[in-house]
Each structure stands twice: as structure tokens, then as C-alpha cells.
Amino acid sequence: MHPIIAKIGPFTIYSYGIMVAIAFLFGIFIARREAVRKNIKPGLVYDLGFYLLIGSIIGARIYYILFFGLKDFLAEPASIFKVWQGGLAIHGGIFGGIITSIIFSNARKISFWALADLIAPSIILGQAIGRIGCYLNGCCYGINNQPTQIYELILDFIGFLLLWGLRKKIRFKGGLFLLYLMTYSVIRIIVSQFRADNLYLWNTGITLAGLSSLIIFIIAMALFIRKRHV
């Protein structure tokens, strides 16, 4: 584990924060390429990326606080803002990103589904890179110290290759984004079987991450089938 890369005077550089920043930059690069291919102004990608970064982090932080660290944050409220140290939940980030994208698309009078398709490959690639940050930070670890962060990194990258390869073949709006939601849901359900930090619901053996992923998968599949036949 290498949660801290360096200390420069009073400033501490955290590996998790660095990897989130790198993931964001790679995501912007990929989304910009897609925007050019689809004759969409690259400036739109930069604007959306800025708001998505904020919305996703807020969503991921709120989700994490509510389900994983409420007592700790109540004891030290100021730590809520220290997102560079970790403590972000991916499902919260997805929900926050979707809400942000809906607001953005309505404000710009652009199809939400078109925007979602545009950034779908970027999202899962960013998640893959972000897991490197988790590995360095020592969070999201597996049972018996299995490197589940690396498991998900590999599966996320395979998911990125899948979406990248199908981006020109799925022609109905929303199809690629819904495929992303289904793909990542399956990945998370698989990886959750090996995670040591799972939150179980009411002693049922069902994990919060697994249940959330299953619900997202079912909704995404239903919408995918519906939109494909419209």
C-alpha cells in the first residue's frame, strides 16, 4: 500500500486523489474523441466533464457516508470534504453522475441518452484506472487480502474494450450507456463475492453492492430491450 506519494511542506499528495485525477483526464480524452467522431463540439465534453466530476464525487461521498462511515463522519465532520483520501462509493457516483447529466442535458437542450452514450466508454475506463488508486490506498480489499481492486481493474478494462468495440454497432440512443450499466453491474456482482468490506443487509447474506447492482442490471436490461424495439 502506498496511500501517500509525497509530502511537500504542509501539502500531502495522496495516491488515490492522483489516480482519480488521471482517470478523469483519460475519460475526457476518450469522450472528446467520440465527440469529434459524432460531430459534437468538444467544448460540450469539457463542460459536461466539469459538472460530472463534481456531481459524481458528491454522489459517491454521500452514498459512502450513509452506508459505510456515518459514525466516523459524525465524530469528525470536517473529514467529509477530504475526498482525496478515499471514501467514495461507485454506486453513489453513478447515481450522482446520472442526475448531473440529466440536469445538464435539459439545460443545454440535448438528448440525455446521446450524452450518456458519448461518455459510456469513458466511465468504465475511468473506473478501471480508479481501482489502481484503491489498490494503492489499501481500500476495497478482498477476503484473505485478495487484490480485488486488481480483479475489478481487469474486468473494467475488458468492459471498456467491449463498449469501445460496440460503440459503432449499437445505433439506438441509450443503448451503449445501458450496456455499460449492465456490464458494470455484472462485474460488481462478481467482484463483491471476494470483497472483505461488504455491507450485508439485515444479516441476510445479501450485500448492498450486490443488491444495488442487481436492481441496476434489471432496470437497464428492461430499458435496453424496450428502446431496441422502439
Per the domain annotation, does 204 fall within a domain?
Answer: no
Q: Is the pLDDT of residue 181 over 90?
A: yes
Q: Is the pLDDT of residue 198 over 90?
A: no
Per the domain annotation, does 141 fall within a domain?
Answer: yes
- Give me the mean pLDDT over the 155-177 stretch: 97
Three-state DSSP string of 85-140: HCCCCHHHHHHHHHHHHHHHHHHHCCCHHHHHHHHHHHHHHHHHHHHHHHHHHCCC
Q: Is the pLDDT of residue 1 over 80?
A: no
**Whole-number pLDDT of residue 118:** 97
**Whole-number pLDDT of residue 83:** 67
**What pLDDT band is residue 194 in, cutting at 50, 70 and 90?**
very high
Q: What DSSP string describes 176-211?
A: HHHHHHHHHHHHHHHHHTTBSSPPBSTTSS-BHHHH
Per the domain annotation, does 217 fall within a domain?
Answer: no
- Give me the mean pLDDT over the 179-185 stretch: 98
Per the domain annotation, does 124 fall within a domain?
Answer: yes
Residue 60 vs residue 148, higher pLDDT? 148
**Whole-number pLDDT of residue 6:** 85
**Whole-number pLDDT of residue 86:** 61
Q: Of the candidates 97, 106, 94, 102, which has an alpha carbon nearest to the alpha carbon of residue 188? A: 94
**What pLDDT band is residue 172 in, cutting at 50, 70 and 90?**
very high
Per the domain annotation, does 156 fall within a domain?
Answer: yes
Residue 40's domain comprises: 4-167
Per the domain annotation, does 108 fall within a domain?
Answer: yes
Instruction: Return d(Cα 165, Cα 98) in angstroms, integer.
Output: 23
**What pLDDT band is residue 69 in, cutting at 50, 70 and 90?**
low
Per the domain annotation, does 177 fall within a domain?
Answer: no
- Give me the mean pLDDT over the 44-66 stretch: 91
Pairing of the two strands 11-14 and 4-8: antiparallel
Least reliable range by pLDDT among 16-20, 28-32, 155-159, 197-201: 197-201
Q: Work out how many domains the chain is built from and give that number.
A: 1
Per the domain annotation, does 222 fall within a domain?
Answer: no
